[in-house]
């Protein structure tokens, strides 16, 4: 017969873990991770024996949240990641949903992106109770931060900040702007630009159906990417905001125009859509995510008190979430121990029935079975108490002894 085992742990048996690449670590390795996202997802699917994770992918981060029993051996994936476990991983997710770990502190888009990531993973049926509960509570915490503080007031979106950067450095009045992209960030930029009647905007992208609708909603023309070289000649400002993993605009695409006229380029894509070498050309002004930092820094300083309040809420919510995680882990332990006990009892009953069929005295068999079950059910626990007791001032030993004392008290009333 197979061995029946039950595991005891120093902490949570099943810990929350996250592997994260983000803008505030190493932008180059983030780009590498985003570019090889499908391979990274395959890696986690393989080591977790299925897609048992929540993937959070935005232009500024790629993260995988999952449950692990022991540290995962991470090899063969892009470097530059952060690997957090237990409470550190839980706190990281709450900071993310609260907008405190965003490029633009307090931005609202990330909360919707976390919701979408959770919904997709949940609909696939690959999440356990712990991950489900974690994301529900983290999303609640993100909403609470935005409701109870002013962290999200003002211009917090990358779209607003990006256009403000251009306005601070250039007079956009009378300019013709080519916006490349039909995703969420591009849509927000288009809406912001289209509200200014002194600016002419042209939309371009690969998704013609989405692009046409978006252009009609904002009262501007839409062009297919096949017309890019021609549109470069006709426009003064080019903004790229796509999910492309390669350069859409190369340095060579701008040579003729840059010799004769000023060109303003804004690349808010990650990976970058514009060849960085283009910024070295005469008459070319190239702005990227790194150039947004001055505006973002001003926003952070102006929200100092609100950020402090937000961090206090995060701290409070972290305690609540960790209590729930421990409760779920205890449920898991109880279920595992009950399963162990049921399997053990079933095996002992089969042995007893076999002995009775072979002519053994039923009374003796039943008494022997009762004693065997009692000893085997308690044996793992007693071994754990003894093992923990070998370490002085061990909180685990005190906790186990407390439970054992309760068992003894209960037995006294039988």
For the chain, where do the domains classified as CATH 3.30.460.30 start and end?
15-151+303-327
Residues 288 and 272: beta-carbon distance below 8 Å: yes
Percent above pLDDT 90 for the chain: 50
pLDDT value for 396:
66
| Mean pLDDT computed over 115-136 | 94
Write out the two tokens for 237. Answer: 């400002």
Order across the sheet with 82-85: list the strands: 53-57, 61-68, 15-22, 82-85
pLDDT of residue 272: 83
- Identify the architecture of domain 15-151+303-327 in CATH: 2-Layer Sandwich (3.30)
Average pLDDT over residues 263-267: 94
Whether the pLDDT of residue 175 is over 80: the answer is: yes
Beta bridge partner(s), residue 286: 265
Q: How far apart are CA 254 and CA 284, in angstroms?
A: 9
Answer whether residue 191 shows pLDDT above 60: yes
Please report which confidence band the pLDDT of residue 400 belongs to, taking 50, 70 and 90 as the band edges: low
The domain defined by 158-291 folds into Rossmann fold (3.40.50)
Contact 175, 124 (CB under 8 A): no
Task: Delimit the CATH 3.40.50.720 region(s) of the chain.
Answer: 158-291
Q: 358-399: per-residue pLDDT in tens? A: 999 999 888 888 888 888 877 777 777 777 767 766 666 677
- Is the pLDDT at 3 greater than 70? The verdict is no
User: Would you state the pLDDT for residue 7?
Assistant: 40
- Average pLDDT, stretch 168-175? 92
Sheet holding 284-287, edge to edge: 222-224, 200-205, 176-180, 237-240, 263-267, 284-287
pLDDT higher than threshold 80 for residue 74: yes
- What mean pLDDT, rounded, does the chain reach? 87
Q: Residue 6: is its pLDDT beyond 60?
A: no
Q: Cα separation of 34 and 245, whole Å? A: 8
Query: 237 - beta bridge partners?
Result: 177, 264
Q: What sign has the CA pseudo-torsion 142, 143, 144, 146?
A: positive
Q: How confident is the model at residue 255 (pLDDT cuts 50, 70, 90)?
A: confident
Whether residue 110 is predicted with pLDDT greater than 80 in this model: the reply is yes
Residues 343 and 336: their CA atoms lie apart, in Å, by 11
> What pLDDT, on a 0 to 100 scale, did the predictor assign at position 166?
92
| Residue 1: pLDDT band with limits 50, 70, 90 | very low
List, as own/partner pairs, every contact residues 287-293 make where C-beta atoms lie below 8 angstroms and the sequence separation is at least 24, other chains included.
Answer: 287/162, 287/165, 287/166, 287/169, 289/23, 289/27, 289/60, 289/103, 290/27, 291/165, 292/103, 292/104, 292/158, 292/161, 292/162, 292/165
Question: Residue 212: pLDDT above 90?
Answer: yes
For position 51, what pLDDT does the model report? 87
């Amino acid at each position: 017969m197979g061995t029946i085992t039950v595991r005891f742990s120093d902490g949570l048996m099943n810990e929350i873990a996250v592997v994260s690449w983000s803008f505030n670590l190493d932008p180059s390795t983030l780009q590498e991770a985003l570019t090889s996202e499908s391979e990274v997802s395959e890696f986690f699917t393989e080591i977790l024996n299925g897609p048992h994770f929540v993937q959070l992918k935005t232009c500024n981060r790629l993260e995988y949240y999952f449950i692990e029993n022991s540290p995962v051996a991470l090899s063969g994936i892009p470097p530059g990641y952060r690997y957090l476990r237990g409470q550190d991983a839980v706190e990281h997710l709450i900071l993310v949903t609260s907008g405190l770990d965003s490029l633009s502190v307090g931005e609202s888009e990330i909360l919707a992106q976390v919701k979408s990531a959770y919904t997709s993973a949940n609909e696939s049926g690959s999440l356990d109770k712990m991950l489900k509960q974690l994301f529900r509570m983290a999303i609640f915490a993100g909403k609470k931060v935005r409701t109870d503080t002013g962290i999200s007031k003002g211009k917090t979106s990358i779209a607003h900040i990006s256009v403000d950067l251009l306005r601070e450095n250039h007079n956009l009045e009378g300019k013709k702007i080519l916006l490349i992209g039909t995703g969420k960030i591009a849509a927000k930029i288009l809406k912001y630009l289209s509200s200014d009647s002194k600016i002419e905007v042209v939309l371009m992208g690969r998704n013609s159906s989405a692009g046409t609708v978006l252009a009609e909603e904002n009262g501007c023309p839409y062009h297919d990417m096949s017309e890019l070289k021609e549109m470069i000649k006709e426009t003064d400002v080019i903004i790229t905001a796509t999910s492309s993993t390669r350069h859409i605009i190369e340095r060579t695409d701008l040579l003729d125009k840059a010799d004769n006229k000023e060109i303003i380029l804004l690349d808010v894509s990650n990976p970058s859509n514009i060849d960085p070498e283009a910024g070295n050309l005469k008459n070319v002004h190239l702005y990227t995510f790194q150039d947004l930092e001055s505006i973002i820094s001003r926003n952070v300083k102006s929200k100092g008190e609100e950020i402090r309040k937000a961090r206090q809420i995060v701290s409070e919510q972290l305690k609540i979430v960790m209590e729930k995680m421990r409760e779920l882990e205890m449920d898991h332990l109880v279920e595992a121990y009950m399963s162990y006990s049921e399997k053990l009892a079933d095996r002992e009953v089969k042995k007893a029935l076999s002995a009775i069929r072979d002519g053994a005295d039923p009374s003796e068999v039943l008494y022997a079975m009762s004693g065997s079950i009692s000893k085997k059910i308690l044996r793992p626990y007693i071994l754990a108490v003894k093992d923990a007791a070998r370490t002085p001032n061990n909180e685990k030993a005190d906790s186990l002894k407390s439970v054992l004392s309760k068992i003894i008290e209960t037995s006294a009333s039988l």
